[in-house]
Structure 1
């Protein structure tokens, strides 16, 4: 080794994570018309529910169907006319089975496949991004969309509920009364739990996105898997494996409206989401790092 080589500073080690790449990816994702359209549709759902409830109860009658303690959606919707805050819970219960996960599936499915289809994936990897860092950034962006989409539904529902219905102290599923401030705090926690409930479908969509070079095919496959799992989760004969479906405990967020809070199903839901994120995230990494980028 020469004296010049010995005096030269060591080559900088490329960081696995930088916020510059994340900021860029977030900006690109949330500026797309597709993303804005998805958010617009999601924020429109609480408005439609609120208007429908207002029209149905305009003659002083209640909401039909009522529902029991175990039915999160009907149990919440019957209380909207008494307290507009319940529109938040009802809207999340209405959008979680399909609209929210479908939107996440579209974003996740297009994450890698969309770049490959547009011919930009190769240039992203030639730039100092690296496959692992790019994949982590894509997943972090998808998780950010999960949070933004969920909060968009919650905020839209809160505003609509405040305009159309009274606000104040509210009764929990357990029959006890809590203050409006406590209810607002629980609504925020429920939104966070709903966002976390989408981490499994986000990881699955990202894995599918690494398998194809077509963004449309990846999005359609992810949404198709979502629908398939939802159907299988309703077949009684499959009760033995249903607890392992990523959607099985989605509506457990209703347990945050009990007094005291019932944590068992909430923890199970978060555990299964972490499991799906770990399994399909690892599969996506293994596939993407070995993938031959031709375009």
Structure 2
């Protein structure tokens, strides 16, 4: 059964937006591609945990490595932070880029976009529903990494009081909400990418081209962000503050980098969201 046969006719009301949003969620998460991507994200913390565990148990290794990895050997909850630090630069943005890039272009390619625009919901409401569904995927993807890391960390490493990277010690009951806060910040850090992906998706009728362009853009911008010669530009690149969530693992929590990150993401949402709206509302949909 096609999507056109299952979608209710939305109305130009808040209820119509919710109906669109629910259908966008259904469309996104029922795709095999999305499920495979989430499965890969769930597997990532398991692989990291096993590698760290084998490295710790090896008589030839001293359990050294970056701060998060070294802390993981002492407390399994740090596997959450390690997994997010590994997933955020590459795996999470690639999966979000695929979902956001396909949001409009994929529907245009399959012919369902024209049906949706016949309904009185309007293009603005439809685009808002797609952005909201994209953000829901960001939270779902981050939650998958977090849950898998917590389960793997509890299985492979001890749990208990947590020594923060600032040297202070907090109880597990205080550390777990902090881990959830970090996961939420990571999900919100991908908001700018969702807006960029939606904008790219409105420029083409090919879902594959939109996904490839969005993912390629992520890779290119992260390469540029690694060049110190571009110091004047780097603070304006959307991935620049992604790893600032590490400042939340201090006592007291240091918010400057996190607020800069969220402010930058809001600016990207405003700019590229407006560009996507301008393109989408003026676009001739013939497919």
Q: Same fold (TM over 0.5)?
A: yes
Q: 1:151: Cα distance to partner?
A: 0.6
Gaps of 5+ in 2: 1-10
Q: 1:128: Cα distance to partner?
A: 2.8
Gaps of 5+ in 1: 1-12, 67-73
Q: Which residue of 2 aligns with 1:235?
A: 227
CA distance in 2 between counterparts of 1:24 and 1:202 reads 18
Q: Which residue of 1 aligns with 2:62?
A: 62
Q: 1:57: Cα distance to partner?
A: 1.1
How do residues 137-156 of structure 1 correspond to structure 2 at under 5 angstroms? 137-156=129-148
CA distance in 1 between counterparts of 2:58 and 2:202 reads 54
Q: 1:63: Cα distance to partner?
A: 2.5
CA distance in 2 between counterparts of 1:137 and 1:249 reads 27
Q: TM (normalized to structure 1)?
A: 0.91
Q: Which residue of 2 aligns with 1:159?
A: 151
Q: Is the 8 A contact 2:142 2:186 kept in 1?
A: yes
Which residue, out of 258, 266, 274, partners 1:266? 258
Q: Which residue of 2 aligns with 1:249?
A: 241
Q: TM (normalized to structure 2)?
A: 0.94
How do residues 1-295 of structure 1 correspond to structure 2 at under 5 angstroms? 14-15=12-13, 18-59=17-58, 61-64=61-64, 66=65, 74-295=66-287
**Which aligned runs of 4 or more in structure 1 are off by greater than 6 angstroms?**
none
Q: 1:15: Cα distance to partner?
A: 2.0
Q: Is the 8 A contact 2:162 2:171 kept in 1?
A: yes
CA distance in 2 between counterparts of 1:168 and 1:62 reads 22
Q: 1:275: Cα distance to partner?
A: 0.3
CA distance in 1 between counterparts of 2:58 and 2:95 reads 36
Q: Is the 8 A contact 1:62 1:78 kept in 2?
A: no
SS state of the match for residue 71, structure 2? coil
Per-residue CA deviations over 1:248-267 (Å, capped at 9, x if unaligned) read: 00000000000111111110
SS state of the match for residue 57, structure 1? helix
Q: 1:129: Cα distance to partner?
A: 2.7
Q: State which drifts further: 25-34 or 150-159.
A: 25-34
Q: Is the 8 A contact 2:17 2:121 kept in 1?
A: no
CA distance in 1 between counterparts of 2:182 and 2:87 reads 13
CA distance in 1 between counterparts of 2:162 and 2:55 reads 21
SS state of the match for residue 292, structure 1? coil
Which protein is bigger by CA-based radius of gyration? 1
Q: Which residue of 2 aligns with 1:69?
A: none
